[in-house]
Amino acid sequence: MSVAIHQIWPPRSAGPLDAAAIEQLYTYPDGDWLAVNLVCSADGAVELHGTAAELSNPADQHVLRLGSDLADVLLVGATTAMVEAFRGQHPDDQTVRRRRRHNLSSVAPTAVVTTGVSLPANAPVITDALVPTIVVTPTSTPPALRSAWADAGATVLVCGDHTVDLRRARVLLADRGLRRIDCEGGPHLVGALLAAGLVDELRLTISPTLVVGTAGRITSGPLIPPAALTLHSVVAAQDTLMLRYLTATPPITAGG
């Protein structure tokens, strides 16, 4: 592990977490679980110059990678898939070994939520993927576009009328054995997932930087009744804080 990560909460007296301990901490519980993984600046910006790249750092990348390595499926909104240049998972040997240890398929597919506006059929997340990307879209999406996604290699799941019915989408993913979901954004999708009561966990990296500006927050959409969070763990790498919050208090069994 190239970055020294210390556990702050729950308190732990030993030195930095070794690779096995941090992997164990970020292992998903068995069964259905949806974790949202986001990074923001200390003043709350979710992007800088249009993407999250300049907010991230090796420590954030380390836990982000654990999120995808240990999940059944990645979930993103169409805008994030495009601006963050998603191209499906291309696992290196470490990821393949890690996924084998956890009895996961060698490559986690990516699922993209879209009405069709922001996801062309030649999107790299479809054309560059090693395993078929799952496009989740409502019935209002033009059939020609659905066919074009499929012709480009995607698996197309249809649910909802004019927007994706996210509850139904989760069921359709679970039907395919994709139960541990690593959602990597963006704010509109996360807001919709929260409104639908589908988020089990928030994994939030606070980047040690202030940027001012007018960037959005980690969530976007209509107000929801305030959702209380339970602090599950805090780890730090130098000045970067990586928090895990649960939206309820279900038992976390596998990862501790």
Ligand X SMILES: NC(=O)c1ccc[n+]([C@@H]2O[C@H](COP(=O)([O-])OP(=O)(O)OC[C@H]3O[C@@H](n4cnc5c(N)ncnc54)[C@H](OP(=O)(O)O)[C@@H]3O)[C@@H](O)[C@H]2O)c1
Tokens of residue 254, six digits = 């596998």
Residue pair 173/181 in contact (Cβ under 8 Å)? The answer is: yes
Instruction: Return the residue of 3, 42, 83, 254 that touches ligand X, per CB under 6 A.
Output: 83
127 binds ligand X (CB under 6 A): no
Applying CB under 6 A, does 77 fall inside the site for ligand X?
yes
CB-nearer residue toward ligand X: 47 or 72? 47
- Show the tokens assigned to 56: 């991230």
**80 belongs to the binding site for ligand X (CB under 6 A):** yes
Residue 19 has which token pair? 């690779």
Beta strands in the chain, from DSSP E residues, in sequence order: 6-9, 33-41, 73-77, 110-113, 134-137, 155-158, 180-183, 201-207, 230-237, 240-246
Handedness of CA 37, 41, 43, 45 (dihedral sign): negative
Which residue stretch of 17-25, 127-135, 146-154, 161-169 sits at the interface with ligand X (rule: CB under 6 A)?
Answer: 161-169
Cβ neighbors of 206 (< 8 A, separation 6 or more) are 39, 40, 41, 42, 240, 241, 242, 243
* Residue 252, number of CB atoms within 10 A of its CB: 19
Cβ-based nearer residue to ligand X, 39 or 173? 39
Residue (113 or 157) nearer to ligand X, CB: 113
**For residues 14 and 46, is the Cβ–Cβ distance under 8 A?**
no
- For ligand X, which residue of 22, 34, 63, 119 counts as binding (CB under 6 A)? 119
Q: How far is the CB of 113 from ligand X (least distance, A)?
A: 4
Angle in degrees, CA 157, 38, 245, rounded to 5: 100
Residue indicated by tokens 């090693």: 130
242 binds ligand X (CB under 6 A): no
Indicate left, alpha or beta for 153 from its phi (over 0: left) and psi (-120 to 50: alpha). Answer: left
Q: Does 189 bind ligand X (CB under 6 A)?
A: yes
Size of the site for ligand X (CB under 6 A): 34
Nearer to ligand X (CB atom), residue 69 or residue 84: 84
Q: Among residues 16 and 216, whose Cβ is nearest to ligand X?
A: 216
**What is the helix (H) or strand (E) element at residue 108, kind and residue range?**
none
Among 61, 115, 127, 209, binds ligand X (CB under 6 A): 115
Q: Which is nearer to ligand X, 19 or 142 (CB)?
A: 142
Stretch that binds ligand X, among 17-25, 144-152, 160-168, 223-231 (CB under 6 A): 160-168
Q: Which is nearer to ligand X, 126 or 189 (CB)?
A: 189
Answer for which of 5, 38, 241, 243 binds ligand X (CB under 6 A) is 38
- Work out the angle between the directed axes of helices 58-69 and 93-101 (0-180°, nearest 10): 50
246 binds ligand X (CB under 6 A): no
In the complex, the smallest distance separating the C-beta of residue 103 from ligand X, rounded to whole angstroms, is: 28
Residues that bind ligand X (CB under 6 A): 38-40, 46-47, 50-52, 55, 76-80, 83-84, 113-119, 163-164, 166, 184-189, 192, 220
